[in-house]
Amino acid sequence: MLCYLLTLACVRKGSLWGVVVSFTKEEAAILEPFFTNLDKDVFALRNLPEVVKGALFARYSRSEKSLRRVLLDEFIKKPEMGFKQIVRLQTDSGVDQIVAIQKAEEFYERVLIGFGDDSVAELGGAHLAVENISNIATKVIEDARIGICPLEKSTRYVYFDQKPNGRYMYYRDKDVMESRFADLYIETMDMLFDTYSSFIEPMKKFLMERFPNEGMSERAYASTIRAKTCDVIRVVLPVGTLTNAGLFGNGRAFEYLLTKMYAHPMREMRDLAAVMQEELRKVIPPFVGRCNDEKHGKPQQAFLRDKWDTIAKLSQDMLAGVKPDNKERLTLVDYDKDAELKVVAAVLYPMSHLHMSQIRKKVADMSNAERRKIIAAYVAGRTNRRHKPGRAFENVYYTFDILGDYGIYRDMQRHRIITQERQWVTTKHGYDIPVEIEEAGLASKFKEAMNVADAAFEKIAPAMPLQAQYIVPMGYRFRWYITMNLREAYHLCELRSCMQGHPTYRKLAQDMYKKIQEVHPTLVEGMKFVDMNDYSLERKEAEKRIDKKMEEVKRKYGYGGQTK
């Protein structure tokens, strides 16, 4: 796979690399396809397989030569490296792909043994499309916070009423399909999708009557109504709904993700891991080779499985008989009692030469007004939410326990800086009825569908608790916790309370802000861009801005962007 390496190669001034190395005309002709320039100190790599990029940087870190000279002298000009076959420079365009993959693996192992380590795998990556997987599977994949960048098909802009090959788009788990629950599962899932599909037109009609078009383009108005319709009725979709995800990640992150998926107790994850590894081996073969091998992968999988089984049993034994307390949807479970002291000390630390303990002692003797002055100066000048506060705010943490629906969780999980763990999806905590479903006269049919799903879940869960999750509609509540630092709280609360956000997670972001404000009012005085308003058509202004941008593109290039 040919793709740019996002990392720029920089020449170190004041060293042997202080002057760009010159090349002969012949050498320049060889190197030109692989670099964005041959005469500057900063350049990007291109047209190189991921394995070569990683190995090249590994060698680069242990050589006195420039990166371009390393590629030329130690990779291209050495036949034993197999560079030509890997990069496919040879005139014979019909070279066997299997041979190229084998050469790439040999190449990587040679480099790794000679002058590299496991971190080499972080210097090469791949784009991977994963389609027709359950919403549960996407959450397992997206739990990989570092090294993997995911984008997922949205329930906000896409209707899920299609029937490819005559079947609704939900996951048919092999274990369930081979069990006595197969018929019940299919009947329940079909019923949920029938209900969802039947809600589309009446909900659109209701919303258009409630919110007639006032000054919007037809495109913007149609997109706004579509988004609102999807927002309201997604609560009926089960978490087993099929979706697509696009991933970009480095080799090391993919290897660990696949290892965890191979160890997962659900069959979908294990089957998916095998398919993902098979495809990744075609583009970054060495980087994902160990996730299921006998020396590294399988022992790691055994460790993860044993931990899962042990903690599951301990949890059942130790917590047996305790009934859930559902009085609060959002609880601030824990926060730092010395938050101001820690933040102020961290603000002052980089500009001094003192020990942190000395600065904290000094801050402890300050008046409240003095500490407030320092905090205010630290966040002064923020004119929009993209003006992030500094790292001093990372010294203070908050832990929230959340009882919310699966749709909220899907959006909150996208904040990868936070620490979060979710419980199994269940129907035992009940559901909320969106006010629009009530007002559109669809409440009775909605309740019936949710209750049928609950009954099916109760039948399947005792025998297959993990697989029973697939059948739970997204509108049912379940629990997860979030631990985040103050800097991330600024980002989350300001971003997720924006007008265009889904109303359920907007409410959660607003409530988080209020909880933090109650315990640390001074620290959130700079959190000026939390939107505490309610909106009826969340996407309205965003769609108007898209219209303006499309007009700008049309004026600039002579054509406009297209959106459905």
| 374-433 pLDDT tens trace | 999 999 999 999 999 999 999 999 999 999 999 899 889 888 889 999 999 999 999 999
Question: Residue 92 — φ and ψ, nearest 5°?
Answer: -80, 100
The two structure tokens encoding residue 462: 């005792």
How far apart are the C-alpha atoms of 393 and 375, rounded to whole Å? Answer: 10
Mean pLDDT of 105-133: 69
pLDDT at 109: 63
- Model confidence band, residue 299 (pLDDT cutoffs 50, 70, 90): very high
- Domain residue limits, the chain: 9-123, 126-318, 337-392
Q: Is the pLDDT of residue 52 over 90?
A: no
DSSP state of 294: T
pLDDT at 350: 96
How far apart are the C-alpha atoms of 545 and 413, rounded to whole Å? Answer: 27
Q: Is 242 helix (H, G, I), strand (E, B) or coil?
A: strand
The two structure tokens encoding residue 138: 């996407």
Q: Is the pLDDT of residue 223 over 70?
A: yes
pLDDT at 269: 96
* H or E element, residue 97: helix 97-115
126 bridge partner residues: 249
- Model confidence band, residue 177 (pLDDT cutoffs 50, 70, 90): very high
How far apart are the C-alpha atoms of 349 and 44, rounded to whole Å? Answer: 36
How far apart are the C-alpha atoms of 518 and 369, rounded to whole Å? Answer: 18
Check the CA dihedral 167-172-178-181 and report its sign. Answer: negative
- Model confidence band, residue 536 (pLDDT cutoffs 50, 70, 90): confident
- Model confidence band, residue 117 (pLDDT cutoffs 50, 70, 90): low
Quote the pTM value.
Answer: 0.83
Residue type, 175: D
pLDDT at 95: 43
Q: Counting beta carbons within 10 angstroms of the beta carbon of residue 203, is it exposed (0 to 12), middle (13 to 18) or buried (19 or more)?
A: buried
Q: Counting beta carbons within 10 angstroms of the beta carbon of residue 315, is it exposed (0 to 12), middle (13 to 18) or buried (19 or more)?
A: exposed
Average pLDDT taken over every residue of the chain:
86
Nearest to 84 by CA among 74, 75, 73: 75
Residues 6+ apart with CB under 8 A from 107: 51, 52, 55, 81, 82, 83, 86, 286
Q: Angle at Cα 217 formed by Cα 212 and Cα 222, nearest 5°?
A: 60
pLDDT tens for 249-293 read: 888 899 999 999 999 999 999 999 999 998 888 777 777 888 998
The CATH architecture annotation of domain 126-318 reads 2-Layer Sandwich (3.30)
pLDDT tens for 178-220 read: 999 999 999 999 999 999 999 999 999 999 999 998 888 888 8
Check the CA dihedral 484-488-494-499 and report its sign. Answer: negative
pLDDT tens for 467-521 read: 999 999 999 999 999 999 999 999 999 999 998 888 888 999 999 999 999 999 9
Cβ atoms of residues 251 and 50 within 8 Å: yes
Residues 6+ apart with CB under 8 A from 212: none
Q: Counting beta carbons within 10 angstroms of the beta carbon of residue 484, is it exposed (0 to 12), middle (13 to 18) or buried (19 or more)?
A: buried
Q: Is the pLDDT of residue 543 over 90?
A: no
Residues 6+ apart with CB under 8 A from 339: 396, 486, 519, 520, 523
**What percent of the chain shows pLDDT beyond 70?**
85
Nearest to 133 by CA among 156, 150, 146, 157: 150
133 bridge partner residues: 243
